[in-house]
Structure 1
Amino acid sequence: MFTGIVEAIGTVKEFIETDTSDVGGYGSSIVITDCPLILEDAHLGDSIAVNGTCVTITDFNSIDFKVGVAPETLRRTNLGDLRPGHKVNLERAVAGHVRFGGHFVQGHIDTTATILSITPDGNAKTFWFQPLDSSVLRFIVEKGFIAVDGASLTVIDVDETVRKAFSVMLISYTQEKIVTSKKQVGDSVNIEVDLMGKLLEKQVTLQIENQLKGQLNSTLGGLVEKIVDNKLRQLK
């Protein structure tokens, strides 16, 4: 679990593609450097978020570390686009004693998105992103949470009909702390929507299915039923 508060920006040192077809597949590894803060308490097997993607440390020293990247991860994220010299957002898995400054981020990327536009607004910048999988827009709401390349940001606007995109604003401080602010129109970012939205959708769906079946057998289901009934009464 992560908070979406980027701790450091690292530099890709090496992208290694390994052919293991003799044992049934292939794999990749990424070596990331210039991140001593991240390695102060590192252990083999630790989880770490690289551009918001939860990966596992397989080797490290005092200045850099290596992570393995599975084929599915390459298909679902922008990690496959990384090359030596590219900058990445880094965050260690959250510890129980730290303050939770962002929101609950799993490090499980839902889709990538393309930067549609970047518009200055004073010393801030507004970014519009168009998700590759537009179905995730149903989980993205105005003033809700979104993780972009692992950074916890607030959604400014959502356009589900024309652009099929959403926007966030980066203040000057945030621009200095994450890699997204240095990207250009057309570049790709990793997107993780708020987990609570997905859980709520599942519960509402199950509740509707149970109602259709004449079943109501859980406290949470009863709570969801009351919320739905109240909303329906308000619309009448």
Structure 2
Amino acid sequence: MHEPTGGPAADRPRAPAARPLPVLVLADVSSSMGEWGKIDILNSSMATMFRAFAGEQAGQILVGVITFGGTVAQVHVRPTPAADARWNAMTPSGVTPMDQAFDLARELLEDETAIPRRRSRPWLILCSDGHPTGPDGYASDAWQGALDRLLSSPQGRRARRLAVSIGPDVTAEARAVLAAFVSDQAYLVDAENVERVSQFFEWATHTVTSDVGGGIRAPSFDPSDLADRL
């Protein structure tokens, strides 16, 4: 016997839609990223990650990319459902305005037209090969204030934050910036061999997709296995 329209079945509450999981990549595209094949492997790794996110069935991933190079940070890919996102290769130039990238990430996380209020805990991924600079190309500490603003914001504070240092020429000072960014020191990977960048993104992709639908499962391998430094 069929239940009449408007009966008990129609009155049952519907399960809420799954919360989208935001992923923002902050990518260094300064001129030094054109050395050692760094920008090429980063572009390739990002394209692979986009495809993996698009195929995720457990829930929706919103993926966005902020680049910082030339003299500014800018939105390279606005937060977009991964199934609809398309990767456009990045080109290196200029200096390393990482402070602007931190401020732009904070603004995007707070912008409910870009990322809905009802969302899962966000992921931030920082990729860089050098120390932050000012517009004149000299080392600058402006990143510290920008990072403080990001980490004191509601969404920045709760975000899980990963980072990879790219190339054999990363200084201790530059690595310290990445160490200050990550939410756990296990989330900082050194890729002195630039080919390791693709392994980092394989691990990052697995870790993020494990979080879709709730709860991070154990990663398939420990990120410390990627470290070039003993």
Q: Which interval holds the TM-score relative to the shorter structure?
A: under 0.3
- TM-score when normalising by structure 2: 0.23
- TM-score when normalising by structure 1: 0.22
Greater fraction of residues in helix: 2
